[in-house]
Structure 1
Amino acid sequence: MSISIRKGIKSDADDLEILYDTINDHMEKGINYCGWKKGVYPTRNDAIRGIEEGNLYVAIKEDVIVGSMILRHKPEEAYLSVRWKKDLSYDKVLVVYTFTVHPGYFNQGIGFKLLKYAEELGIEEGTESLRLDVYTENVPAIHLYEKCGFEYIDTVSLGLEESGLDWFKLYEKLI
């Protein structure tokens, strides 16, 4: 079956909450690559905010939300002190946030399709770069990003040390 990607809508909030809880439960049972915590991040409120801002996207397979991401023109503060491949104002940059795939659909190309969609949307909007951060221990995501053409830029703190998340790798893909 094929994967479709669309903007999230208000009626997706329940399914997104389930998606976020499912990924967090999965990570708690094994290796918590992303460092997320159930009830802390991501939550239903993160989904609702992304939907209300019009920048949350969902991947759907057989009428089930199997992945999602948020795309914003707003960077984390740590991004501002980094030397990127190209010096751009953030109206020319899409930052990928809250990128996730349902664990029952790992290794089915959903993450790749979400990132390809972000790239196509960026080109359509006149964006010149996709940027993202990833917890240094999130090896599966790092492999995906590199496979999709993102290049490592730097390692920074995002101020999440109290949560046990000391360092994040920054990646960029010029489009």
Structure 2
Amino acid sequence: MIRLAQARDLDRVDALYRALLDREESVRYTNWQKDLYPTLAHAKAAFEQGTLHVGEEDGALFGCVILNQIQPPEYASIHWNFQAAPEEVMVIHTLCIHPNFAGRGKGKEFVHFCEEHARAKSWPVIRLDTYEGNFPACRLYEGLGYFYAGETQFHFQNVIWETLKCFDKQVGSKGESRLS
């Protein structure tokens, strides 16, 4: 079940972040850094804003995501496939699946949840970005009907530069048709 996070989930979200970052030491798909991003402070901020969602199965936290309408400034340089006003766009941030649940369809389950959340909020367009080397995430999003919109340089936490690939998808009827 995927639901809005509760205060009691925060330590488990932090543990998920740490488990994922530990795995990243041997298999690097993200450019995330321990004690830099994602952290408990990021989870707490999202919780306080009511934008942190968690997935739980048999008492274990299998994933989390932040859903809001905050588009990074770098998004302005992307030629999005679906044009929409800022208030019509939902952005997927920091979608994480615990390594113990990897390869079990939990990422797909979360993306479907994100799409239903966007529809429920009447946000017809979803946007997201992922590190250029995150091949599993790129395959996941493309396989679920997201369109590659381009890539741009992001200054990750104002520490290092990275290239992120951007994707979008129309999930409602308000966004303009896909551009050619």
Unaligned runs of 5+ in 2: 172-180
Indicate conservation of the 8 Å contact 2:146/2:168, yes or no: yes
Aligned residue in 2 for 1:83: 79
Residue 169 of structure 2 aligns with which residue?
173
Following superposition, the deviation at residue 70 of structure 1 comes to: 0.3
Distance in 2 between residues matched to 1:49 and 1:161, nearest whole Å? 15
Question: How well do the aligned residues superpose, as a CA RMSD in angstroms?
Answer: 1.3
Please report how far the alpha carbon of residue 162 of structure 1 lies from its aligned counterpart in structure 2 after TM superposition. Answer: 6.8
Q: Note if contact 2:82-2:169 (Cα within 8 Å) is conserved in structure 1.
A: no
Do the aligned residues in 2 keep the contact of 1:153 with 1:170 (CA within 8 Å)? yes
TM-score by length of 1: 0.93
Q: Which residue of 2 aligns with 1:68?
A: 64
The Cα shift of 1:81 comes to 2.5
Alpha-carbon contact 2:30-2:131 (below 8 Å) kept: yes
Gaps of 5+ in 1: none
The yes-or-no answer on 1:133 pairing with 2:162 is: no
Deviating 4+ runs (over 4 angstroms): 161-165
Q: 1:15: which partner in 2?
A: 12
Structure with the higher helix share, 1 or 2: 1
Q: Which residue of structure 2 aligns with residue 24 of structure 1?
A: 21
State how far apart, in whole Å, the 2-side matches of 1:17 and 1:173 are.
29
CA distance in 1, matches of 2:29, 2:39: 17
Sequence identity of aligned pairs in percent? Answer: 28
CA distance in 1, matches of 2:157, 2:168: 23
Give 1:159's aligned residue: 155
Q: Per-residue displacement from partner, 1:10-41 (whole Å, max 9, x unpaired)?
A: 1111101100000000111x221111111111
TM score, norm. by length of structure 2: 0.91
